[in-house]
Structure 1
Amino acid sequence: MGMFTGLLTLPLAPVRGVVWLAEVLTEQAEAQLYDPGRIAAEMQQIADEAAAGEITEEEAAEREEDLIRRLNEGRARRR
């Protein structure tokens, strides 16, 4: 029965491959998005830009809030 099922589902192999690839890409993207080291580097960049006058304090605060939200979401996903 296993060989028969394998032959019947063989045409679906490309679809399974695409689904697997999408899952791997999603995992990698989320790992980068929620990486605490990357978020810390972005926080430092925001602080540097604010100190140099490239962005306003309000914009810096808004971007920092987004990063903190992302950091908290990443921590919640790891649990």
Structure 2
Amino acid sequence: MGLIGEVLMLPFAPVRGGLWAVSQVLAEAERLYYDPATVRAELALLEQRLESGEIGEEEFDRQEDELLDRLEIGLRAGAGTDNGTTR
């Protein structure tokens, strides 16, 4: 973009900065959502809830399937900063 374009777009700089910030927050939230260490911790918590009787077998199976899907996506995408190892 040339100098004239930059001058014309100057009033929109706060909007562009805001959009950048929102995209950064979303990217970090997605990274954490698919992080294998996070998903494994949630799987462990889910198992504790089953053992304590807080949830039934059917609910456990449903939530476990969702978490395993997230884990697979995270491992495939390499979303974890620790390459799938536990912390």
Q: Counterparts of 1:78 and 1:38 in 2: how far apart (Å)?
A: 13
Number of aligned residue pairs: give it.
79
1:38 is displaced (CA, Å) by: 0.7
1:2 is displaced (CA, Å) by: 3.6
Counterpart residue identity of residue 70, structure 2: R
Q: Where in structure 2 are there 5+ consecutive unaligned residues? A: 80-87
1:35 is displaced (CA, Å) by: 0.8
Which structure has more relative contact order (CA 8 Å, sep 6+)? It is: 2
- TM-score, L = length of structure 2: 0.79
1:51-70 pair list within 5 angstroms: 51-70=51-70
1:12 is displaced (CA, Å) by: 1.3
Report % sequence identity. 37
Q: Where in structure 1 are there 5+ consecutive unaligned residues? A: none
